[in-house]
Every structure is written in C-alpha cells, then in structure tokens.
Amino acid sequence: MFEQRIYNFSAGPSMLPVPVLQKCADEMLNYQGSGMSVMEMSHRSKVYDEIIVQAEALFREVMQIPDNYKVLFLQGGASTQFAMVPMNLLRTGKADYVVTGQFSKKAYQEAKKIGSDIHLAGSTESTNFDHVPTQEELDLRPDADYVHICLNNTIFGTKWHYIPDTGNVPLVADMSSCILSEPFDVSKFGLIYAGAQKNIAPAGLTVVIIREDLAGFTLPGTPTMLDYAVQIKNSSMYNTPPCYPIYVCKLVLEWIKELGGLEAMKERNQKKAAILYNVLDESKLFRAVAAPVDRSMMNVTFRTGNEELDAKFVKESVAAGFSNLKGHRSVGGMRASIYNAMPLEGVEKLAVFMKDFEARNL
C-alpha cells in the first residue's frame, strides 16, 4: 500500500503527467460548467466538439504536421493498424516490411495474411533484435506500395536513429512508443500510427497521421470501420470515438506545449536516458542489452547476466517504490520505460538504487 504515487516504469500503459491526472479528477463530475463529465457527453455536442477539435489542432501544432496530412482518432490499438494498413494501402499487393522486434514481426505476419507479395526487407531477429539495420542492409523494392517499420522497439530497447530513405515509396511507421518524445519530420512519412497508452493518453485510443493521397482505396471486404477514407470523411466520428482518451490526449498535449514542445521533451528525455545508460556503461554488474548506436531513449533494457540476481533486483525495486522494471520474457533481465511523463527525479532515484544494488551485490 502506497500513500504516495510511485515511479512506474511500465512499458505501457504507463505514467501520465500528474497535472493531467489532477485535471481529470477535478473535472470528473462537472467539466468546465457543462454540468456533466466528459465521459457522459454526446460526441455530437458542441462542448465535446471543442475538445476533439482542440486535440487535433494541438497535435498538428506540437508535431508540426503538414496540411496535406489528416489526423485520426481511432480504436483497436496498433494491432488493428497491422491489418488496416495493408487493407488500405496494398493497391498492387506489394509491400516491404523491416522486422526489428516483436511488434514489427506481428505487423509483417498480419500483412502476409492479407497481401500476396509481402517482402521481408530486413530483419535483426538472428541477434534477438539487439539492433536496427543500416540503410545499406535494407532490401527495398522501388515499386512497393509502402515500406513498414517500427520506429522504437519497446521490448528490445532499440530505436531507428535515422529515417530510412525509401525514395518515392511511402514509409509507414509504428510510433507507438516514441511519438511525442522528440520532433519527427512528418513529411518523411506516408503514414504514422501509435497506440496512445505510452506517450499520448490512456489505452483505447490509436492516433493515425496519414498523407491524404494515400486514403481512398480498400481491398474488397474491408470493414467500413477500417477504411481510412471513411474515417477522414467523418472526422473520426463515423461512430462514437473513444471520447475520454481523446480528452486526456488534449490535456497531455497542453502539458507538452507548456513545457516547451517536442524540442523540450527531447532534451528532457535525452537527459533521463543518459543518466541510466551512464550507470550501465560504468557498471561492473549491469550491462545494456541494445547495441549502443541503436539505444532507445524510451525503453532502457539491461541485465546482470545472472537470472537470480535479475530477479532479486526486480523484487527489491518493487519494495523501494519502483514498479514494472521486469524485462519482457523474450529478452529477460530488466527494462526501465521512461516515457515523457516519467519525471527526472524518478530516473535519478532509480540510478541511485541501481548503484546501491551494485555495491551490495558485486
């Protein structure tokens, strides 16, 4: 039982900024004099319309999204996008997938269920996804309908430190675990999607940013709800959208803007990640899992090399008020997910705890 809030290093759903949660609590029974909770509002009402319109405007402003891109607020998570992308973009049936972790592999497998010519354009599975391929290692086809990548690999703690050059072929990116963590040049992508539960909002919202010329086609039998053109035409309101997560998304974007936008987020996140990677690089007990050049700024994976010691670390960390530091079973060891809402203080305290654990166990 914790009287106070703890440092939650969960890979997702994960921490939300305290001022956002405070506002959610304060406005729960009566949103700004509307006499109702945001959870109770008709999605067609004027008061709710202001919320969703502002959420989109803030997304555009914070991410500097060009005018020829649409922002959609959908449901179903990235896993639904794994099917929705090929169902809408596979005009000729050819697509290239780069597999750099569990989620990009799932996306690749889902596309193979749907398309006839899905090509593995790169994979780092042989080294258990401890790095990301270089541009030279990619086997891209100039006539593919799109190239799919996952920009940050939550489980393995790696990220693409460059945006691959795909020529005229649209680049589709799963940004679930790095969106809003730093500035990205949206114009280099054809389509970006992200589950909300890491850097945007609570689970149940999926944000899609799509270059408008890519919408308008679907394979036969595609559900209406999985048609980007339908969602665009109806401004994400073909049916009732996930209203409350969209409201929280708006609050999170206001918080990001107030802190200085994505440049400030990047600086903050670099600082947090550097603290942990420095501890790891100087440690005689712990070592980082990901290749140094491909290290994620959001998910820091590490281990001692001794499973019992790893388990001891995780157990003691819980008692010390740090939660969810256990690594994913496919990597083992530990993982500290340090998304936007994780305060610097939480990372600093974890670093102290790690050094102390090392001193006691070396």
Please state the closest distance from residue 50 (CB atom) to a copy of itself, in A.
14
> Measured between alpha carbons, how far is 242 from 76 in angstroms, rounded to an integer?
10
Torsion angles phi and psi, residue 182, rounded to 5:
-165, 165
CA-to-CA dists, residue 307 to 285, 311, 352, angstroms: 12, 6, 21
Report 37-66 residues binding a copy of itself (CB under 8 A). 37, 39-43, 45
Between 75 and 283, CB nearer to a copy of itself: 75
Within positions 7 to 26, which residues make up the interface with a copy of itself, using CB under 8 A? 8, 10-16, 18, 21-22, 24-26
3-state secondary structure of 118: strand
H or E stretch including 74? strand 69-74
Least distance (Å) between residue 157 CB and a copy of itself: 17
Question: Pick from 88, 104, 123, 324: which binds a copy of itself (CB under 8 A)?
Answer: 324
Give residues 259-318 in contact with a copy of itself (rule: CB under 8 A). none
Judged by phi (left if over 0) then psi (alpha if -120 to 50, else beta), residue 221 lies in left
Q: Shortest distance, CB of residue 113 to a copy of itself, whole angstroms? A: 7
Burial label, 126 (beta-carbon count in 10 A; 0-12, 13-18, 19+): exposed
Which pair of structure tokens corresponds to residue 146?
Answer: 């799109």
Nearest Cα to 331, choosing from 8, 14, 101?
A: 101
What whole-number distance in Å separates Cα of residue 323 and Cα of residue 321?
Answer: 6
Q: Residue 346 interacts with a copy of itself (CB under 8 A)? A: no
Q: Among 94-102, 106-114, 289-297, 301-309, which window interacts with a copy of itself (CB under 8 A)? A: 106-114
Rounded Cα distance between 93 and 125, Å, is 25
Report in angstroms how near the CB of residue 161 gets to a copy of itself at its nearest.
26
**Contact between 142 and a copy of itself per CB under 8 A:** no
Q: Which stretch binds a copy of itself (CB under 8 A): 131-139, 217-225, 275-283, 305-313?
A: 217-225
Residue closer to a copy of itself, measured from CB, 238 or 358: 238
Q: Which is nearer to a copy of itself, 68 or 224 (CB)?
A: 224
Binding mask 224-263 for a copy of itself (x = CB under 8 A): xxx-----------xxxxxxxx--x---------------
State the Cα–Cα distance between residues 78 and 129, nearest whole angstrom: 20
Nearest to 163 by CA among 187, 194, 129, 144: 187
Q: Count Cβ atoms below 10 Å from residue 193 Cβ, excluding itself.
A: 26
Binding piece for a copy of itself, criterion CB under 8 A, among 63-71, 76-84, 150-158, 165-173? 76-84
State the minimum distance, in angstroms, from the CB of residue 241 to a copy of itself.
7
Place of tokens 């609050």: 251
Closest distance of CB 169 from a copy of itself, Å: 23
The residue (of 76 and 332) whose beta carbon lies closer to a copy of itself is 76
Cα–Cα nearest to 253, from 78, 60, 105, 25: 60
Which segment (131-139, 178-186, 200-208, 295-303) binds a copy of itself by CB under 8 A?
A: 200-208
- Closest distance to a copy of itself from the beta carbon of 8 (Å): 5
Task: Pick one of 104, 124, 177, 197: the residue that binds a copy of itself (CB under 8 A).
Answer: 197
Cβ 120 vs Cβ 107: under 8 Å: no
CA distance 89 to 111: 11
Tell me the site size for a copy of itself, rule CB under 8 A: 71
For a copy of itself, which is the closer residue by CB, 183 or 202? 202
* Minimum separation from the CB atom of position 22 to a copy of itself (A): 7
d(CA 143, CA 141): 6
